[in-house]
A and B are shown apart, each in its own frame.
Chain A
Amino acid sequence: MKWRSGRRYRRLPGRPFSVFSRASLWLGEDHLLSVQSNRFSEDYRRYYLRDIQAFILERTGPVSLWTYSMGALAAGFLAPGLFFDFQKTFLWVMGGLSLGITLYLIALGPTCSCYIQTAVSREELRSLRWMRTAEKTLRIIQPYIEQVQGPMTVEIAALPTEPPEVRAQVPTPPPLPTRKQPDSGWGYALLFVLLLLDALHSYLSFTVKGTAMNVAGWTLLIAEMACVVWLTVRFRRFDIPGSIRALVFAALIITAALTYTANLLATFEKQRQHDFTPATVFVENYPGYVPLHVTAAAADGIIAAAGLLLVVRYRRTLRRPPPLPAPQ
């Protein structure tokens, strides 16, 4: 074994692109250790080498979802950088950084889901998100498993290309366990209440002006974004109906798009007026201010109302007792 003296574990390749959680895979003396971390605590899951039956790699896409997001962010920074006379350095630096990350993510290649199968479970290894990394990791692990279980026979190695009747001899893997707990729904209710307040703020901002309104608007926006980020982290661990999830994404996309458009229009207006101070957030007299705010208020209001309705219905179903088994 290649462990450094005193070290119990050796790190295996694979580090998913994630901000709030972290997953990693480690090779111990007689087991694999899968570590899930939220930065402040770690959860461990051990898979003993003698129990591992198979690794299942499923290709999920040509690039990760982050690649599209970072690409859009790069375009969002670089495109205005071509037209604006000021804030150019900031836009180019941020655009360059986003473009760099996008290219790095493209270079990582196709993404995958990797499952580890034992006699009683089949679980996803979250640290293995890219095909290339997963294959590299499997190449490292394989000799250790073979050392414990014996070498793979020719029949096993050739299994995927064998005719169906040979494949039928393989024991059927156990179904994927559904480990997600139902979400309480309070986090989603909070987001939709914030959106409702934001809609109200947008309507009021036509008549009531001032620093307090501006500060309230930006505080609401930051709170909404923080709430959306928190909820997207919860998606992985807790179950919630797809309709509520879709509304969260809709809120994220609409809020981001409208904020970006508002900032873009305000910057154009400042450039037209030859006002080269960097703050664009308090500009209110740009063309398109009213239609943009009406759209924002309407969209926020509709999403918030629909979301609250769905959360209330969802919470009612949670309170309902499970159905009784059918009589024999």
Chain B
Amino acid sequence: MVRAFPALFAGPQAAATGEVSLAGEAGCFYHAEKRAVVTCHQCGRFLCALCRVEFKGQDWCPGCLESSSRKRKQVDFENHRVLYDSAALAFATFPFLLFFWPSVIGAPLALYVSIRYWKAPTSILPRTKVRFLLAIVLALGQLGLMGFIIYAIVNARRLA
């Protein structure tokens, strides 16, 4: 089954090239010989039709787009995110569930990741901090249990 939309029948659009500016006309910041048609919404530089990038109903220059993408100012440029909360929860659960002893490494690691990346951006989709909280609670529980076991062993040896 194919569900087609009008864009399928729209012919290829001609690429904008920018017109040459005449004497007394404002020129593009990047191409001085081209006529400026808009200003950048971010930095205010004059842009020709070639440099103008329409994004979310605003005109941007290539420099601002690049810098916004690099600094992660615009979520719409991002195509990858690390889910630190899921990683912290995995560190807190899998080592404990597989065999108890790897929790010696897993629990402190879960605590570290939870605290270190508490404010780090997670998914761009709706998501709460519940995984971080759960990881912290589980990690503290495991560390408490380990402490109790060590205390019991030391106490038993002392009594013996």
Interface residues of A, Cβ cutoff 8 Å to B: 7-9, 24, 26, 30, 33, 35, 37, 39-46, 50-57, 117-119, 138, 142, 145-146, 149-150, 152-153, 156, 159-160, 170-171
Say yes or no: B6 contacts A152, CB within 8 Å.
yes
**Which has the most chain A C-beta neighbours within 10 Å: B6, B7, B90, B126?**
B7
**Could you say which of B1, B6, B8, B125 contacts A35, with CB atoms under 8 Å apart?**
B125
**Could you say which of B5, B82, B90, B124 contacts A44, with CB atoms under 8 Å apart?**
B124
11 extra interchain contacts, Cβ-Cβ under 8 A, other than A35-B125, A152-B5, A156-B8?
A8-B75, A37-B83, A41-B81, A52-B5, A52-B7, A54-B8, A149-B7, A156-B9, A160-B2, A170-B4, A170-B8
* Residues in B73-97 with C-beta less than 8 Å from chain A: 75-76, 78-83, 86-87, 90
Contacts of B124 in A (CB 8 A): 8-9, 42, 44
In the bound complex, what is the Cα–Cα distance between A170 and B54 (angstroms)?
A: 29
Contacts of B4 in A (CB 8 A): 53-54, 152, 156, 159, 170
In the bound complex, what is the Cα–Cα distance between A257 and B83 (angstroms)?
A: 38
Q: Tell me, rounded to whole Å, the shortest Cβ–Cβ distance linking B102 to chain A.
A: 15
**Could you say which of B7, B76, B125 contacts A119, with CB atoms under 8 Å apart?**
B7
In the bound complex, what is the Cα–Cα distance between A145 and B79 (angstroms)?
A: 22
In the bound complex, what is the Cα–Cα distance between A119 and B8 (angstroms)?
A: 7
- State the 5 A-B residue pairs at the shortest beta-carbon distance, nearest first: A53-B8, A57-B1, A54-B4, A149-B6, A53-B7
Query: B3: nearest residue on chain A (CB-CB)?
Result: A55
Given contact pairs A44-B78, A44-B79, A156-B8, A9 touches B3 in the complex (Cβ within 8 A): no
In the bound complex, what is the Cα–Cα distance between A118 and B125 (angstroms)?
A: 24
- Is B123 part of the contact surface with A, judged by Cβ < 8 Å? yes
Contacts of B158 in A (CB 8 A): none
Say yes or no: B81 contacts A30, CB within 8 Å.
no
Say yes or no: B3 contacts A142, CB within 8 Å.
yes
Contacts of B56 in A (CB 8 A): 30
Contacts of B6 in A (CB 8 A): 149-150, 152-153, 156
Interface residues of B, Cβ cutoff 8 Å to A: 1-9, 12, 56, 75-76, 78-83, 86-87, 90, 123-126
Query: B122: nearest residue on chain A (CB-CB)?
Result: A42
Query: A156: nearest residue on chain B (CB-CB)?
Result: B4
Say yes or no: B79 contacts A43, CB within 8 Å.
yes
Contacts of A160 in B (CB 8 A): 1-2
Say yes or no: B125 contacts A54, CB within 8 Å.
no
Query: A171: nearest residue on chain B (CB-CB)?
Result: B8
**Could you say which of A42, A118, A145 contacts B81, with CB atoms under 8 Å apart?**
A42
In the bound complex, what is the Cα–Cα distance between A42 and B83 (angstroms)?
A: 7
Say yes or no: B5 contacts A149, CB within 8 Å.
yes
18 contacting pairs across A/B (C-beta < 8 A): A26-B125, A39-B83, A40-B82, A40-B87, A41-B82, A41-B83, A42-B80, A44-B79, A52-B7, A53-B4, A54-B4, A57-B3, A119-B7, A150-B6, A152-B5, A159-B4, A170-B4, A170-B9
Contacts of A152 in B (CB 8 A): 4-6
Contacts of A30 in B (CB 8 A): 56
Q: Tell me, rounded to whole Å, the shortest Cβ–Cβ distance linking B80 to chain A.
A: 5
Query: B80: nearest residue on chain A (CB-CB)?
Result: A43
Say yes or no: A159 contacts B79, CB within 8 Å.
no
Q: Tell me, rounded to whole Å, the shortest Cβ–Cβ distance linking B53 to chain A.
A: 13
Say yes or no: A156 contacts B1, CB within 8 Å.
no
Q: Tell me, rounded to whole Å, the shortest Cβ–Cβ distance linking B56 to chain A.
A: 7
Say yes or no: B126 contacts A54, CB within 8 Å.
no
Query: B76: nearest residue on chain A (CB-CB)?
Result: A46
**Could you say which of B1, B5, B83 contacts A40, with CB atoms under 8 Å apart?**
B83
Query: B81: nearest residue on chain A (CB-CB)?
Result: A42
Contacts of A149 in B (CB 8 A): 5-7
Q: Tell me, rounded to whole Å, the shortest Cβ–Cβ distance linking A108 to chain B.
A: 18
Q: Tell me, rounded to whole Å, the shortest Cβ–Cβ distance linking B110 to chain A.
A: 13
Given contact pairs A8-B75, A44-B78, A156 touches B5 in the complex (Cβ within 8 A): yes
Contacts of A39 in B (CB 8 A): 83, 86, 90
Contacts of B76 in A (CB 8 A): 46
In the bound complex, what is the Cα–Cα distance between A3 and B65 (angstroms)?
A: 27
